[in-house]
Amino acid sequence: MPSALINVPKKAKRGDTIEIKTLMSHIMETGYRHTAAGQVIPRDIITSFSCRYNGEEIFRADLFPAIAANPFITFFTVATESGKFEFEWIGDNGFSETASASISVE
Amino acid sequence: MTMRKAEGSTRRRFLELAGAAAAIGAVPVVTVREAVATPETMAAAIRTVVGTATVQPGKVKLDIPPLVENGNTVPMTVSVASPMTPQEFVKSIHVFNEKNPQPNIGNFFLGPRAGRAQISTRVRLADSQKIIAIARLSDGSFWSATADVVVTLAACTEEII
C-alpha cells in the first residue's frame, strides 16, 4: 500500500522561504538485480515527482534507478499565499499517487 | 613407445586444460558487472543536458559523505549560490555518476519561486566513484561540483535474491 509522508510548515510569514520534505514508500526496483535462477527482476521505479502550489508547478524531478528506495526529496519554496500544495508521483506499471498539504500564510 | 607418447600428450593436455580453466575461472571475477556506466557514458549523459555549452566549476555545492558503508541509501544535498530572483535563478540541477549501471541519478527543476536553490535526496551507489552535480542558471550558464565517494558495501546491482 503506497503511502506518502509530507512535511510542510502549517504556518508561515509571507515571503518566508520554507522547506518541504516528501517521502513516498516505493521499492524502486532498479531492473539490474537477478533472482537466484538468473532471471532479471524487471524495473519498477517512480520516474517523476512534481509539486504544485495553488495550481502552479513549483518543483519537478525526474528520478532514475539510482534514487534509493522510498524516494525522499526535499526542496524549498517561498510562502506567497495561503493555500494548498499538491504532490504527485508517477512511475512504472501505472504507479500514480497524490498527496496534499495546506499552509496558512500571514 | 606409442603408449608413452600418448601419456605425455595427455599430461600436457591436462596441464593446458587446467591452465585454461584457471584463466576462464579468473575472467568472470573481472567482468561480473555487465552493465556499467563509464566516465564516457557519463560524459555523454552530461552532453545531452548541457549541449555544447561549457560547464564551469563553482557556484554549486555537493554535500555527500566521502565514505559510506551502505551504497543503498546515501544522503545527498545539492545547493547552488544564487539570489533566486525572477531575473537570476537556478532553472535545474542535474546529478550524474560514473559507475552505476546508468549515468543519471536525477534531474531537479526549480524556478524563481524556490527562494533557495537547494535539494536533498537519497541515492544508490554501486561502487566507489565520482559524483557530479550540474546547475543550469537562468542566463544559460552551467556550473558544476564534483565529489568522490568511497563505498564499502555497494548497492544491489549484482545482489542475488
The complex's ipTM works out to 0.94
What is the reported pLDDT for B2?
46
| Kind plus residue range of the DSSP H or E element containing B145 | strand B142-153
Closest-CA residue of chain B to A32:
B157
Predicted confidence band of residue B16 (pLDDT cuts 50, 70, 90): low
Range with lowest mean pLDDT among A34-38, A81-85, B46-50, B124-128: A34-38
**Residues A20, A6: Cα–Cα separation, whole Å:** 7
Sign of CA dihedral B106, A8, A104, B116: negative
Q: Please give the distance of CA B6 from its chain centroid, rounded to a whole number.
A: 54
Number of Cβ within 10 Å of residue A47's Cβ equals 16
Yes or no, beta carbons of A59 and B114 under 8 Å apart: yes
**Residues A69, B73: Cα–Cα separation, whole Å:** 8
Predicted confidence band of residue B25 (pLDDT cuts 50, 70, 90): very low
Predicted confidence band of residue A34 (pLDDT cuts 50, 70, 90): confident
What is the reported pLDDT for B48?
93
Above 90 in pLDDT, residue B86? yes
Q: Which residues of B63-94 are buried (b: 16+ CB within 10 A; e: fewer)?
A: ebeeebeebbbbebebbbebebeeeebbbbbb
Yes or no, beta carbons of A66 and B107 under 8 Å apart: no
Nearest-by-Cβ selection for B106 from A59, A61, A69: A61
Nearest-by-Cβ selection for A66 from B102, B118, B160: B102
User: Which carries the bigger pLDDT value, residue B16 or residue B149?
Assistant: B149
Above 50 in pLDDT, residue B30? no
Above 50 in pLDDT, residue A44? yes
State how far residue A22 is from chain B, nearest Cα, in angstroms. Answer: 10
What is the reported pLDDT for B39?
84
User: Which carries the bigger pLDDT value, residue B102 or residue B8?
Assistant: B102
**Distances, alpha carbon B99 to alpha carbons A11, A82, A89, A97, in Å:** 43, 44, 27, 31
Residues in A closer than 8 angstroms to B114, CB to CB, are 58-59, 75-78
Nearest-by-Cβ selection for B72 from A61, A68, A77: A68
Yes or no, beta carbons of A69 and B73 under 8 Å apart: yes
Most confident of A36-40, B2-6, B27-31: A36-40
What is the reported pLDDT for A35?
87
Residues in B closer than 8 angstroms to A32, CB to CB, are 35, 101, 156-158
Mean pLDDT to the nearest integer, B141-152: 95
Please list, in sequence order, all residues whose beta carbon lies within 8 angstroms of the beta carbon of residue B149, skipping any fewer than 6 positions away.
Answer: B64, B65, B66, B67, B68, B74, B125, B128, B129, B130, B131
Yes or no, beta carbons of B123 and A66 under 8 Å apart: yes
The per-residue pLDDT for range B32-60, each reduced to its tens digit, is 344 567 788 999 999 999 999 999 999 99
Assess contact for A10 and A104: CB atoms under 8 A: yes
- Percent of chain A beyond pLDDT 90? 90
Please give the grid coordinates belonging to residue B142: 552551467
